[in-house]
């Protein structure tokens, strides 16, 4: 049985997506994988109880049977446990990790939003938890600038020492990617830093999917649910992007048009004019006229029915924090492809003894 801890330096580094990619690859290798996220970071309500968004995701991804309160025992929204002594919390998590790893080849342990204690809402840092559990550690850092990333990596390495087995430097701008790979990574290696993988900024990974939009708004697909993974780059309440059969929707005032990203090959000068439509939200909770439904079906544009007036719905969507769900399978496939381009994912797993 192996324990593997994934942590992050925060700031939307892609922690959940990376952990999903690792879990997916381990399952592909025929391994039995468990999951533990000791401290919740993104509360979500299921029926009458609260849990963590990542607990929901990985319980489904890995087909786990353990209850949510075991997969994520300490929720961000609960105030009572925060005053508990750190030693007691560490002891309980260590016992729980042992239980959850029973019958598993590997237990993935997902850290909080930040490896350092500075902004943690509790008194147990990922570093102290990793030290208690004696696990291998992989760090995910979002590239902002070279100096900040080097500082974060060196700081984490000094705290974790030989337990840190790899670093994912994620969301590197294309213009900086070659410099990072040719100069910064070799320089870090000379300082004793283990394998560092630089991944490029990929707009597809930051887009929301139709499935996520539906989930955020508690909507219902009226048609086009097979396009649930379609990426959404923007939204408008206007009608200027409607064409052909969809011109009929100009008569519908209770709508929000969801837009697709431009194709990668499209130049800046070509991006003007009509934009491709990913789907249409119909607000107000009323079923549309049969002509509208027929028009959407004819051109294969998904319709999602949501409750609430148009502008409150728009505001709700804009203010919601993007999260991963099982419908984002396309994102983890894309992320895995980026890591597989030079065999980096399997190389990383080999460093922790998984072949």
Residue that is written with structure tokens 């919390």 in the block: 89
Looking at the fold, whether 172 and 219 belong to one and the same domain comes out as no
Residue 65 burial by CB count (10 A; 0-12/13-18/19+): exposed, middle or buried?
Answer: exposed
pTM of the shown model: 0.81
Q: What does the alpha-carbon distance between residue 220 and residue 306 come to, in Å, rounded to a whole number?
A: 7
As given in the structure block, the two tokens for residue 350 are 């080999």
Looking at the fold, whether 234 and 160 belong to one and the same domain comes out as no
Q: What is the mean pLDDT of residues 115-123?
A: 61
CATH number at residue 174: 3.40.50.300
Torsion of CA 187, 193, 197, 201, to 10 degrees: -70
Question: What's the total number of domains in the chain?
Answer: 2
What pLDDT score was predicted for residue 271? 47
- The least confident of 16-30, 105-119, 203-217 is 105-119
Looking at the fold, whether 57 and 159 belong to one and the same domain comes out as yes
Looking at the fold, whether 134 and 264 belong to one and the same domain comes out as no
Cα 244 to the chain's mean position, in Å?
36
What pLDDT score was predicted for residue 94? 92
Looking at the fold, whether 108 and 212 belong to one and the same domain comes out as no
Looking at the fold, whether 251 and 342 belong to one and the same domain comes out as no
What pLDDT score was predicted for residue 46? 82
pLDDT digits (tens, 9 = 90+) for 88-109: 888 999 999 999 999 999 999 9
DSSP 307: S
Contact (CB, 8 A) for 166 and 138:
yes
CATH number at residue 239: 3.40.1390
Looking at the fold, whether 128 and 234 belong to one and the same domain comes out as no
| Structural domain boundaries enclosing 73 | 2-201+325-351
Looking at the fold, whether 137 and 265 belong to one and the same domain comes out as no
What pLDDT score was predicted for residue 82? 64
Q: Whose CA is closest to 169, among 348, 39, 349, 26?
A: 348
Mean pLDDT, all residues of the chain: 88
pLDDT digits (tens, 9 = 90+) for 170-207: 999 999 999 999 999 999 999 888 888 999 998 888 88
Looking at the fold, whether 306 and 172 belong to one and the same domain comes out as no
Looking at the fold, whether 193 and 296 belong to one and the same domain comes out as no
pLDDT digits (tens, 9 = 90+) for 301-314: 999 999 999 999 99
Looking at the fold, whether 145 and 175 belong to one and the same domain comes out as yes
What pLDDT score was predicted for residue 24? 95
Looking at the fold, whether 210 and 135 belong to one and the same domain comes out as no
Number of continuous H segments (helices) and E segments (strands) in the chain: 14, 15
Q: What is the mean pLDDT of residues 156-165?
A: 90
């Amino acid at each position: 049985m192996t324990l593997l801890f994934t942590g992050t330096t925060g700031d939307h580094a892609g922690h959940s997506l990376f952990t999903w990619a690792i879990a997916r690859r381990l399952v592909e290798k025929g391994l039995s994988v468990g999951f533990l996220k000791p401290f919740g970071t993104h509360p979500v309500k299921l029926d009458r109880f609260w849990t963590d968004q990542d607990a929901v995701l990985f319980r489904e991804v890995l087909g786990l049977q353990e209850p949510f309160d075991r997969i994520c025992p300490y929720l961000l929204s609960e105030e009572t446990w925060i005053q508990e002594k750190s030693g007691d919390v560490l002891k309980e998590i260590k016992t729980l990790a042992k239980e959850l790893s029973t019958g598993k080849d590997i237990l993935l342990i997902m850290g909080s939003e930040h490896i350092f204690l500075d902004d943690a809402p509790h008194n147990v840092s990922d570093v102290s938890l990793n030290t208690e559990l004696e696990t291998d550690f992989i760090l995910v850092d979002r590239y902002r600038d070279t100096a900040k990333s080097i500082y974060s990596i060196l700081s984490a390495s000094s705290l974790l020492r030989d337990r840190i087995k790899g670093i994912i430097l994620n969301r590197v701008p294309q213009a900086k990617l070659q410099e990072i790979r040719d100069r910064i990574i070799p320089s870090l290696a000379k300082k004793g830093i283990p394998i560092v993988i630089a991944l490029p900024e990929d707009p597809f990974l930051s887009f929301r999917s139709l499935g996520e939009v539906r989930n955020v708004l508690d909507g219902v697909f009226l048609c086009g649910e097979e396009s649930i993974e379609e990426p959404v780059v923007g939204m408008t309440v206007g009608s200027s992007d409607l064409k052909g059969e969809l011109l009929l929707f100009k008569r519908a005032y209770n709508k929000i048009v969801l837009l697709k990203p431009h194709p990668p090959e499209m130049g800046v000068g070509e991006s003007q004019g009509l934009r491709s439509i990913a789907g249409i939200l119909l607000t107000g909770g009323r079923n549309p006229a049969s002509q509208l439904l027929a028009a959407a079906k004819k051109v294969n544009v998904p319709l999602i029915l949501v409750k609430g007036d148009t502008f409150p719905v728009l505001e709700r969507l804009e203010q919601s924090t993007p999260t991963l769900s099982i419908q984002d399978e396309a994102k983890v496939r894309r992320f895995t492809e980026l890591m597989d381009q030079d065999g980096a994912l399997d190389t990383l797993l080999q460093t922790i003894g998984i072949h």
